[in-house]
């Protein structure tokens, strides 16, 4: 049984400057890089203590919105479950409160834009 902390997450992090979730971090860290993950997790915890991030409950309203987003975008735009959950939280935050949306997934960027948010893709126009 996998007992890593990200498997037990039941809350989402809302940032005052940009939206970021620990689950996303977990899915983007290679399995062989567990030490780096632990280091990043400690830094993230420190940022929460500094109130850079706000811990918020993932509500039933956001669960319902996630389902609606999946029904609307999963087939045509390949929206993934975690992406739908993140987008539902973005929609629950007032646009004035949400300072920036940063996303490196081109398909998810498209859906975010379709939902009325402007998004920055840090990988766009960056030489590889």
pLDDT in tens, 1-41: 444 344 323 333 333 333 344 444 445 545 557 777 888 88
Local confidence band at 112 (pLDDT 50, 70, 90 cut-offs): very high
Answer whether residue 63 shows pLDDT above 90: yes
Half-sphere exposure of 82 (CA within 13 A, CB side): 16
Q: What is the mean pLDDT of residues 86-99?
A: 84
Outline where the chain has alpha helix (H).
22-28, 34-49, 60-77, 81-92, 106-114
Instruction: Answer for the pair 100, 82: CB distance below 8 angstroms, yes or no.
Output: no
């Amino acid at each position: 049984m996998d007992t890593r902390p990200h498997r037990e997450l039941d809350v989402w992090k809302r940032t005052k400057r940009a939206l970021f979730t620990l689950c996303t971090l977990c899915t983007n860290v290679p399995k062989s890089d567990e030490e780096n993950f632990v280091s990043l997790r400690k830094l993230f915890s420190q940022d929460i203590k500094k109130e850079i991030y706000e811990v918020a409950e993932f509500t039933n309203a956001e669960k319902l919105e996630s389902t609606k987003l999946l029904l609307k975008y999963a087939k045509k735009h390949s929206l993934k479950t975690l992406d739908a959950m993140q987008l539902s939280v973005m929609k629950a935050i007032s646009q004035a409160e949400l300072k920036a949306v940063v996303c490196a997934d081109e398909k998810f960027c498209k859906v975010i834009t379709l939902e009325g948010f402007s998004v920055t893709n840090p990988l766009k126009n960056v030489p590889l």
